[in-house]
Amino acid sequence: MDVGSKAEVTGIHRAGPPVATQKVRENVYAVQVSLSEPPSADWKRFFYDLQRDAPPDFPPRSVDITGALLRFRSSAESVEQRIALLDQWMERANKKEASLNRSEEDRRRREESAREHRELADLNTRWSKL
């Protein structure tokens, strides 16, 4: 994902490159990535639960999401691969959350339509004797 092309990106995405914040042990670093915004609880659930391609040494649950930051541990050689996975996982979570939001909007529209239908039926019943 090209972080520079934010105009076409919807949902949560990386807001910058990975940053090493601490050396944990020889060739293992604490790494953090800034996000475009803090994710919702639903988005976090989708991020953690939708991944089927996670390597055994980098399960989604090894990524800590706090505020607008993702944090994980990695060797220097694995960061690029892990960032690519994180981008894929974020894209899946964004799609699922968008689908959930569309479903919620559809439900609200159906409820509003049903309310309007009842209102019109009540008015027509009232006016039927005029």
Q: Does residue 37 sit within a domain?
A: yes
Residue 19 lies in a domain: yes
Confidence check: pLDDT of 9 > 60: no
DSSP letter at 65? E
Per-residue confidence (pLDDT) for residue 7, from 0 to 100: 38
24's CB contacts (< 8 A; 6+ apart) are: 30, 73
For residue 1, is it within any domain? no
Residues 18/33, Cβ–Cβ less than 8 Å: yes
Residue 67 falls within a domain, yes or no?
yes
3-state SS assignment for residue 42: helix
pLDDT at 113: 73
pLDDT tens for 62-118 read 999 999 999 999 999 999 999 999 999 999 999 999 888 776 776 677 777 778 878
- Residue 121 falls within a domain, yes or no? yes
Q: What is the pLDDT of residue 86?
A: 96
- Is 50 inside a domain boundary? yes
Between 66 and 8, name the one with better pLDDT.
Answer: 66
Cβ neighbours of residue 71 under 8 Å, at least 6 residues apart?
A: 21, 30, 31, 32, 33, 63, 64, 65
For 24-57, how does the pLDDT look when each residue is reduced to its tens digit (9 = 90+)?
999 999 999 999 999 999 999 999 998 888 899 9
State which residues form the domain around 86.
6-127
Counting the structural domains of the chain, the total is: 1
Asked whether residue 101 is domain-assigned, the answer is yes
Let me know if residue 14 belongs to a domain. yes
Beta carbons within 10 angstroms of residue 112's beta carbon: 10
At residue 18, the pLDDT reads 97
Of 116 and 1, the one with more pLDDT? 116
Q: What is the pLDDT of residue 68?
A: 95
Q: H or E segment at 29?
A: strand 28-34
Where is 119: in which H helix or E strand? helix 79-127
